[in-house]
Amino acid sequence: MTDMQKSWGLHLGIIALLFVLQFILPAYHHGSLARIMVLTCYAMGYNILFGYTGLLSLGHALFFAAGMYGMSLSIQHLDWSAGPAVFAGLVAGFAMALVIGMLLLRTAGVAFMIVTLMFAQAGYLTVLYFGEWTRGDEGFVIKQELRRIAGFDLSDPTNRYFAALLLMAVCIVITLRVVQTGFGRVLVAIRENEERTRMLGYDIQRHKLAAILLSGTMSAAAGAAYGLLFGYAGATFASVQYSIFPLLWVLLGGAGTVLGPFIGTLFMFYLIDLSSELTTAYMLIAGLVLVALTLFAPQGLVGELRRRTLRWLP
C-alpha cells in the first residue's frame, strides 16, 4: 500500500468513525462534537496559511467573522433563505481575503503578523461601530425557522451533526488534495526556504495569495456554518481571542498536518471543559498543560506521531 493510499484510508476512516459516533454519543457530547467539527474547519483554514505556507497570522477571526456576518446579516436584514445566505458568507470571506491578501503581500515576517492583527482589530471595531445592525457584543439569535437548507432543519441535533461532519469531510478532502499536489509542495517549499523557492522560478507572491484566499474562504465557511448551525452571531467571534484559538489548536495538534487541527481542537475543547468542572481558574490548568505539551511535544500531537512512527502522515 502506497503512502497516499494509507493517508486517504486513515482520513476516510476518521470520517467514517465520526459518522458512527452520531448514533452512539450521549446528547452533550453529540452537540460538543458538532461544534468541534465546525471549529476544526476554521483551524484547517488557518493551517493552510500557517502550517503549510509558514505565514503566521494573528487576525484570522476577520475571515471567520466575515463568513458569519455575511451569512447572518443576509438572513436578518435582507430576508434571504439559509442557502443563499451561506453563499453570501463565502463570498464575503473570499472578498475579504482577496483585498487583505493583496495588502498583506507587501509585508513579510513580523510585519505580516502585526498587520493581520491590525486588520482583525479593525474588523472587530467595525462590528461594534455598526451595532445597530450587528447588535455588537450582545449579538443576535437566528430564528429556528430560518435555519433550513433544502428542507433540512439545521437546528435539529442530528441534522446539525451531519452538516458539521459534511463540512469537515469537505475540508479534509480539500486539504489532502492541496498538500498532495504540486501547489501544496510549493507552499511547503516557501515555508522551508522562500528565497530558494523563488530562485527555482516559482511565483512566490501568486502562491502566497492563493494560500490566503483558500485559507480565508475555508475560515469563512466555518464562520457561516457556526452561525447557522448554532443560531447565533456576535462580536466575540471577531475578537482577538478567536484569532488566537486556531493558532493554539494547530500548534497543539501539529502544524502542517491534515489531522492536527482536529486533534488540537478536540483536545483543547475538552481540556477547558473538564478543567472548568474542577476550578474557576480552569485557564491556569489549560495553560500548564499547554506548556507541558510545548516542552515535550514541540511538533504537536500528530506532528510527534509523524516524527516518531507514521512518517507517511501528510
Question: What local confidence, expressed as pLDDT, does residue 22 receive?
Answer: 92
CA distance 292 to 311: 24
Report percent pLDDT > 90 for the chain: 68
Query: Taking the domains of the chain in order of start, what are their residue ranges?
Result: 3-240
Would you state the pLDDT for residue 285? 81
pLDDT of residue 184: 92
Lowest average pLDDT, out of 33-37, 157-161, 173-177, 291-295, goes to 291-295
Q: What is the pLDDT of residues 275-295, one digit of tens each?
A: 888 778 777 887 888 888 878
Lowest mean pLDDT among 10-14, 79-83, 279-283: 279-283
pLDDT at 6: 83
Neighbouring C-alpha atoms within 13 Å toward the C-beta of 172: 25
SS3 labels along 265-312? HHHHHHHHHHHHHHCCCHHHHHHHHHHHHHHHCCCCHHHHHHHHCCCC
The pLDDT value given to residue 18: 95
Mean pLDDT to the nearest integer, 11-37: 93
Identify the weakest region by mean pLDDT among 43-52, 59-68, 81-90, 266-275.
266-275
* pLDDT band at residue 310 under the 50/70/90 scheme: confident
Q: Is the pLDDT of residue 117 over 90?
A: yes
pLDDT at 275: 85
Confidence of residue 96 (pLDDT cuts 50, 70, 90): very high
Q: What is the mean pLDDT of residues 145-164?
A: 91
The pLDDT of residue 15 is 94
pLDDT at position 136 is 85
Average pLDDT along the chain:
91
Taking CA atoms, 272 is separated from 208, 268, 269, 289, 296, in Å, by 34, 6, 6, 10, 20
Does residue 220 register a pLDDT over 80? yes
Above 80 in pLDDT, residue 121? yes
Annotate the chain with three-state secondary structure. Answer: CCHHHHHHHHHHHHHHHHHHHCCCCCHHHHHHHHHHHHHHHHHHHHHHHHHHCCCCCCCCHHHHHHHHHHHHHHHHHHCCCHHHHHHHHHHHHHHHHHHHHHHHCCCCCHHHHHHHHHHHHHHHHHHHHCHHHHCCCCCEECCHHHCEECCEECCCHHHHHHHHHHHHHHHHHHHHHHHCCHHHHHHHHHHHCHHHHHHCCCCHHHHHHHHHHHHHHHHHHHHHHHHHHHCEECHHHHCCHHHHHHHHHHHHHCCCCCCHHHHHHHHHHHHHHHHHHHCCCHHHHHHHHHHHHHHHCCCCHHHHHHHHCCCCCC
pLDDT at 3: 72
Helix axes 260-278, 241-253, angle to 10 degrees: 110
Q: Is the pLDDT of residue 1 over 90?
A: no
60 near 223, Cβ under 8 Å? no
- 221-252 confidence digits (pLDDT tens): 999 999 999 999 999 999 998 999 999 999 99
> 235 near 66, Cβ under 8 Å?
no
Q: Report the distance separating Cα 43 and Cα 219, nearest Å.
A: 8
Cα 19 to Cα 12: distance, rounded to the nearest angstrom? 11
Paired with 153 in beta bridges are 148
Q: Considering only residues 3 and 304, tell me which one the structure prediction assigns the higher pLDDT.
A: 304
